[in-house]
Amino acid sequence: MSDVADRVKKIVVEHLGVEADKVTDNANFIDDLGADSLDTVELVMAFEEEFNVEIPDDAAETIVTVGDAIKFLEKNAA
């Protein structure tokens, strides 16, 4: 597992208060991890802070699973 994946999963576990083993690449924030729409906005804000990157709204809308977030951040974060 990459360093980015570790950090993403840690943020998701902390923010949503879910078990770490539920935070798989395919886990959908809303359907599988019980996030509401406001949680998804906050997760994006947390990713922006952790990775010091700006995630534009149209990109944020495509991040619906844990894997989506990891893929985006591996590509765009320093």
Partner 1 sequence: MFGLSGRKALVTGATGGIGGSIARALHAQGATVALSGTRRSALDELAASLGDRVHVVEANLSDKDSVEALVPAAEKAMDGLDILVNNAGVTKDNLFMRMKDEEWDTVIAVNLTASFRLSRAAVKNMMRRRYGRIINIGSVVGSTGNPGQGNYAASKAGLIGMTKALAAEVASRSITVNCVAPGFIESPMTDVLNEKQREGILGTIPMGRLGQGGEIASAVVYLASTEAGYVTGHTLHVNGGMAMF
Would you please indicate which residues are annotated as catalytic (active-site) residues? 36
Q: Does 20 bind partner 1 (CB under 8 A)?
A: no
Calculated CA dihedral for residues 23, 73, 59, 22, nearest 10 degrees: 0
Number of H helices, E strands in the chain: 4, 0
Task: Decide: is 38 part of the binding site for partner 1 (CB under 8 A).
Answer: yes
Nearer to partner 1, 41 or 53 (CB): 41
Residues in binding contact with partner 1, number by CB under 8 A = 5
Residues of this chain, 42-61, that bind partner 1 according to CB under 8 A: 42, 45
Tokens standing for residue 46: 């947390």
